[in-house]
Structure 1
Amino acid sequence: MRVLQGVAGAVIVLGIFSSVLRTLVIPRPTRSGFTQVVQRLVHRPFQLLANLMSSAEAKDRVLGPVAPLAILVTLVSWLVCFVVGYALLEAAVSGFGIRDALVESGSSLFTLGFASSKRTTLTVVDFCAAATGPIVVGLQVGYLPTLYGAYQRRETEVTLLQARAGSPPWGPEILARYAQVELLDVLTDLFRNWERWSAQVSESHTTYPILVHFRSPKATRNWLIALLAVMDAAALRLAFNPSLPKTEVRMALRAGFVCLRDIADMKGIPYAQDPHPDDPIELSYEDFLRGVARMEEQGYPLQRTPQEAWPHFRGWRVNYEALAYRLARDIDAVPAPWSGARRTPVAIRAPLTPVDRRPVG
């Protein structure tokens, strides 16, 4: 019996150490099964409640605390598992009952010191437990600033995009607004910035997967919908303006769908590695025409007709549409034009567009 307790305790302690290392220490995409289970258990009741909500704002209020709460619950779960694992080890080497072993383990893990033994074997286990508690808490304390720093960098560009793409963002709205304020000459700066943004998000959101579920401060903003809008704007630019410079536009588009694929790989979502340009997409030609009408309304110059541009646009969008729609559904992103369906029916929000009032004369 004591041998089984010792084996079980060692397995629990080593398994949780592996989870801590994968989640907090190793600077590369690594999946911890324990962390994933805890986060899913935290997320499920909130998601069930959000599914009952009829508005995007209500859903956002319900889902907003989920990711931060999952971090806290994960830390508590690690510590509880360490208490149990070390208690089993102490019971194995000392013959203590489970209750006494839990008291000794908790006293050592949290460095309280109110329960201790003079037995050498127990002292070794107590020292290991006493080192474990501060290490895990210290790693978590160091992890949070890194996590929130990546979140703030992500949200800065998403917030800046609001004036350029509406709220929620929409690809045609980006080109329409740049045409409206006569800034099409500097549109490549936007794509250059979002190429770098995509690379940063790819790195941070695969290293720290919980960031995928961190929501923006406002219900009408979302990092995924913002990225989708920029990629759609890039695809529209390439489809309608073949004579204009393409380098920054193509790089932003490629960086965007590489970012989505990296996140999909981390989450185990399948996708077509090399889709054919003629493969079907969910966006209808009628919805495409509505976006083009918005661009034309604000004076965006079109070098091709919508009929000529549609195959080119579709050939670009096939690279990222399915993944963007799947992720938008998974995280219940704010409904927006050209962003697919959600878990439960919610009205698609049209981008809020301020009136550009100019002095007469």
Structure 2
Amino acid sequence: MKGKALPADLLKRYLTNTCTEAERRVVDEWYLRLDREQEAAPFSIDEHALLQRIRADIAHTLPPREEAPVVPLNRRRWLYLSGIAASLLLLLGVGYLAWNRPATDSSSAATSGTPDWTVHTNTTKKIERYLFPDQSVVWLQPGARLSHPAAFAPAPHREVRFAGEGFFEVVRDTLHPFIIYSGALKTQVLGTSFNVRAYENDSSYHVSVLTGSVAVSAPASPTHDEEVLVLKTNEQATYQNATRSLTLETAAAKPEIKQAWRPASLVFNDTPLSEAAAQLQKAFQIHIELANPALNTCRLTVDFNKQRLPEILNMINTLLGSTYELEGDTIRIFGDGCSD
């Protein structure tokens, strides 16, 4: 991906705030990736003037008609914008907006008795990225639901109520612990990454730690006092709803704890999609299917540097014009395929 420019019509939708969430994340990741590859010193820019120049440049690169140009699926090369100067202008402008545009992941709604809370449910069949007020992130599985205060401060805790499955990457703040309530189960962290699986109708809940440490507690029951487990990297706690008991397992017993959400670096060089899917299966311990055999004709030339599975899937879908759905432990990729 190094040195490549995104299609002009995608950047136009991004700047006019008419792109989808998946497209917005693709543009944000594109800039951040390029930004990490450079070591330029900080600089100041005139946001208004730069934005006007970006829009003017995009207008010149697009066809006269209103509709964005149609890109055939078999096109294996990136579309370049006109000239090196235009590319640099887009890079600087999109980067500035990516860092300064307000977060739009959440939708506000009142919870019972708490009108200042935000609630959100992933109603898609994809893994969805959600941004908290403190810039912590959770990757929500389909059907996952959460609620939290519209702003964490000035409360002493960053409190979240959660049901479903999600992978959390919590910004460290030793003065304001991040607490997740899933039914009777309480998960408390200062700053780390971990997965919570707590579907309301399941008999047991699971908390799996990828990095750092997490404190998991279960309430007292008629047979025992409150239990607290401190989990470290590659450990998992299982909470039984019926008995309110906690048990500890390690990555040796649950290898998926280690692999499912660990970032991976992969390089595809004119690689058939079926072969790329096989590499993703091995890297992330998840089953991937191509819903249409014609997708086997698609080839990928792209490199991923320490990226998580949903980020990789979103980029592949953008390149191929495909989409995916998550059903249980299986990812199905849908699309028309690619011509020779």
Return the TM-score normalized by structure 2: 0.23
Task: Using structure 1 for the length normalisation, give the TM-score.
Answer: 0.22
Greater Rg over alpha carbons, structure: 1
Which structure shows the bigger proportion of residues in helix conformation? 1
- Bigger relative CO (Cα 8 Å, ≥ 6 apart): 1
Structure having the larger proportion of residues in strand: 2
